[in-house]
Amino acid sequence: MLELRPNCEHCDKNLPPASTQAHICTYECTFCSHCVKNVLYNVCPNCGGGFSKRPIRPRTERRPGVSLEHQPASDKRVHTKYSDEEITQFAGATKSTRAEDR
């Protein structure tokens, strides 16, 4: 089950569970739309993969035990360990390769 991390790992912008600005890679690294587009160039600085929009977990329980109330979002803030310079170099070297070809 997705953690639904509460923030952008680069700029620390809040990304609540219903945010349409949250993007994740296959390892659930979480970044905001602005950083994915303008800083990371669709290259996850942690794994090199691409991003998809993070799904929104339903607030309303339409099936027994299945909702944000029963599977709450994480409150643990995560930050990338890479510096801006390292991210720029990594993304620059990788962005010209399509995510599905990395």
The Cα 70–Cα 93 span in angstroms is 42
pLDDT tens string for the chain (102 positions)? 999 999 999 999 999 999 999 999 999 999 999 999 999 999 999 999 999 999 999 999 999 999 999 999 999 999 999 999 999 999 999 999 999 999
Handedness of CA 42, 45, 50, 56 (dihedral sign): negative
* Bridge partner list, 24: 30, 52
Write down the pTM of the prediction: 0.93
Domain ranges of the chain: 7-56+79-97
pLDDT recorded at residue 48: 97
Per-position b or e across 75-90, b if 16+ CB within 10 A of its CB: eeebebeeeeeebeeb
Tens of pLDDT, residue by residue over 27-44, are 999 999 999 999 999 999
32 contacts 23 by C-beta, under 8 angstroms: yes
In the chain, the N- to C-terminal Cα span, in Å, equals 25
pLDDT recorded at residue 56: 97
